[in-house]
């Protein structure tokens, strides 16, 4: 399937790294409104540049546009693509305002086009292994989830030195103004809504805990947020995002018969640990060494498949396959089906993420308006 990329910044290099694993995807060309960035990217990756976004949209070979622009540009870029008859894979979120995300989904539906959104890590071997464990009843009825996405004090890190292989600096100002929850909550939320279906109701607290991030005239978004989520199926989850609390990317799912845990939500091949409930559970949880010495501690579960990618996320060896979602969408277009993450599911996640990041706009307590049909086990890509 022929596709084109709009936005040749920091993350576009990660997509290019991953593209080699997807021979079914043919990159027709790329576009960036920054001419220097466009030139550096096309030279580095030896790919063609379009003369303008209009030229890209006029290319009838292109069926799918990957929108890798900054979040506040997502709406305009995706809308133009849909109006030109292209299917859209959007980096997260679909849009930075809920009514605009809704407009995109309705526009796609009216035109018979598909739109979906990153992240696509729900297609990872780790996520699918957790789904299978839940589906197989390994922890009995799941009831409570603790999900963390703390990235450490990013403002105090040497982020000016984070430069992608084609020379794009990590967009610190944009990241700090858009907010870490809008950037990151979707990773946990796509998994949780895959496993448990839609969120019914949520509460959120969000705040700027560190106003001075060392950049002049910054308008920082909340850099800390915690949401409590009540799923229709009865599961309760607490999700925290920050770029201040020390690094913690754990996901823990507690059920009547055991616990599933991972340490690295951003790693497609992160080991999955399963603890089955037994009479020593409380001792193992209190004294992990006891669990290790007795062999009663959490066990590493074999993943459903050998992970295609895994690791610490060094350049050239992504821990994530950024193109898996584009490939999934391309397959849906080709077969006349729906992508794993439907537009309505992406809209649901966008609503939850926006409400978590901005309770001042969407309410401290919110009944989620945009629902979706939960995946059935047979629709799951495992
Ligand atoms: N930085 C990361 O590590 C990372 C990881 C995963 C996902 N993402 C997501 O990827 C997206 C892009 O992030 P990034 O880090 O690459 O940002 P970036 O600022 O490095 O790159 C964005 C690029 O898009 C271009 N652009 C913006 N608006 C445009 C428009 N209207 N038309 C054409 N080009 C336009 C900019 O000139 C820039 O080169 C965001 O949605 C972000 O949430 C980023």
- The model's pLDDT over 299-325, given as tens digits with 9 standing for 90+, comes to 999 999 888 765 555 444 568 899 999
Asked whether residue 382 carries a pLDDT value surpassing 70, the answer given is no
Report d(CA 214, CA 55) in Å as an integer: 39
Q: Locate tokens 């990013």: which residue?
A: 154
pTM equals 0.96
CATH numbers and ranges of domains, the chain: 2-117 (3.40.50.720), 125-379 (3.30.360.10)
pLDDT at residue 255 tops 60: yes
Residue whose token pair is 């047979």:
378
Structure tokens at 360: 């001042």
Would you give the DSSP letter of residue 50? P
Q: How far is the CA of 103 from the centre of ligand 1 (A)?
A: 21
Q: Which residues contact 301 (CB under 8 A, 6 or more apart)?
A: 129, 133, 271, 272, 273, 274
Distance from C-alpha of 234 to C-alpha of 141, rounded to nearest angstrom: 10
Cα torsion 226, 137, 332, 6: sign = positive
Condensed to tens digits (0 to 9), the pLDDT of residues 316-354 reads 456 889 999 999 999 999 999 999 999 999 999 999 999
Measured CA to CA, the distance from residue 116 to residue 93 in angstroms comes to 10
Q: Stretch 292-301: mean pLDDT, rounded?
A: 92
158-187 per-position pLDDT tens digit: 999 999 999 999 999 999 999 999 999 999
**Which residues make beta-bridge pairs with 300?**
273
Residue closest by Cα to atom 7 of ligand 1:
11
* The pLDDT of residue 380 is above 90: no
- Determine what percent of the chain is predicted with pLDDT higher than 70: 96
Which residues line ligand 1 at a C-beta cut-off of 6 Å?
6-12, 31-34, 37, 53, 68-71, 73, 77, 91-92, 168, 170-171, 174, 183
Q: Which of 54, 67, 69 to mutate to test the pocket of ligand 1 (most atoms within 8 A of CB)?
A: 69
From 70, 92, 265, give the residue whose CB has the most ligand 1 atoms within 8 Å, as the site to mutate: 70
pLDDT digits (tens, 9 = 90+) for 260-280: 999 999 999 999 999 999 998
CA distances to 188, 226, 329 from 272, in Å: 15, 24, 27
pLDDT top residue among 109 and 378: 109
Pocket test for ligand 1, best of 68, 160, 163, 173 (most atoms within 8 A of CB): 68
Q: Which atom of ligand 1 is nearest to the CA of 38?
A: 39
The single residue listed with the structure tokens 């729906």 is 338
Query: How far apart, in whole angstroms, are the C-alpha atoms of residue 217 and residue 173?
Result: 10
Question: Taking the chain, what is the end-to-end CA distance rounded to the nearest angstrom?
Answer: 23
Place of tokens 């993450």: 341
Whose alpha carbon is nearest atom 3 of ligand 1? 11
Q: How far is CA 301 from CA 154, 186, 259, in A?
A: 33, 25, 12
- The 8-class DSSP code of residue 337 comes to S
- Find, among 171, 26, 194, the residue nearest to 120 by Cα: 194
Secondary structure element (H or E) that encloses residue 231, with its range? strand 224-231
- Classified as helix, coil or strand, 6 is strand
């Amino acid at each position: 399937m022929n596709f084109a990329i709009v936005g040749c910044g920091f993350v576009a290099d990660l997509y290019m790294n991953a593209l080699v694993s997807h021979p079914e995807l043919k990159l027709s060309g790329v576009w960036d409104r920054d001419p220097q960035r466009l030139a550096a990217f096309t030279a580095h990756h030896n790919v063609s540049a379009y003369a303008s976004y209009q030229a890209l949209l006029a290319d009838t070979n292109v069926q799918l546009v990957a929108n890798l622009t900054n979040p506040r540009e997502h709406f305009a870029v995706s809308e133009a693509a849909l109006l030109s008859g292209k299917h859209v894979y959007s980096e997260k979120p679909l849009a930075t305002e809920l009514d605009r995300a809704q407009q995109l989904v309705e526009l796609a539906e009216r035109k018979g086009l598909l739109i979906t959104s990153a992240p696509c890590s729900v297609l990872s071997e780790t996520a699918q292994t957790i789904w299978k464990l839940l589906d197989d009843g390994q922890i009995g009825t799941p009831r409570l989830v603790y999900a963390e996405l703390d990235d450490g004090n990013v403002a105090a890190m040497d982020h000016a030195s984070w430069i992608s292989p084609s020379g794009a600096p990590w967009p610190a100002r944009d990241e700090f103004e858009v907010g870490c929850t809008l950037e990151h909550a979707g990773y946990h939320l796509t998994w949780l809504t895959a496993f448990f279906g839609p969120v019914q109701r949520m509460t959120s607290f969000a705040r700027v805990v560190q106003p001075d991030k060392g950049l002049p005239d910054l308008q920082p978004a909340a850099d800390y947020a915690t949401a409590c989520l009540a799923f229709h199926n009865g599961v309760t989850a607490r999700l925290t995002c920050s770029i201040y609390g020390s690094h913690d990317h754990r996901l823990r799912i507690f059920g009547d018969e055991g616990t599933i845990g991972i340490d690295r939500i951003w790693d497609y091949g992160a080991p999955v640990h399963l603890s089955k409930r037994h009479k020593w559970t409380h001792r193992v949880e209190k004294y992990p060494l006891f669990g290790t010495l007795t062999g009663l501690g959490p066990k590493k579960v074999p993943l459903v498949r050998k992970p295609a990618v895994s690791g610490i996320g060094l350049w050239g060896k992504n821990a994530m396959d950024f193109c898996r979602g584009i490939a999934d969408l391309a397959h849906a277009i080709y077969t006349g089906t729906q992508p794993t993450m439907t537009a309505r599911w992406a809209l649901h996640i966008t609503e939850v993420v926006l409400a978590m990041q901005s309770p001042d706009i969407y309410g401290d307590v919110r009944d989620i308006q945009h629902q979706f049909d939960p995946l059935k086990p047979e629709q799951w890509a495992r």
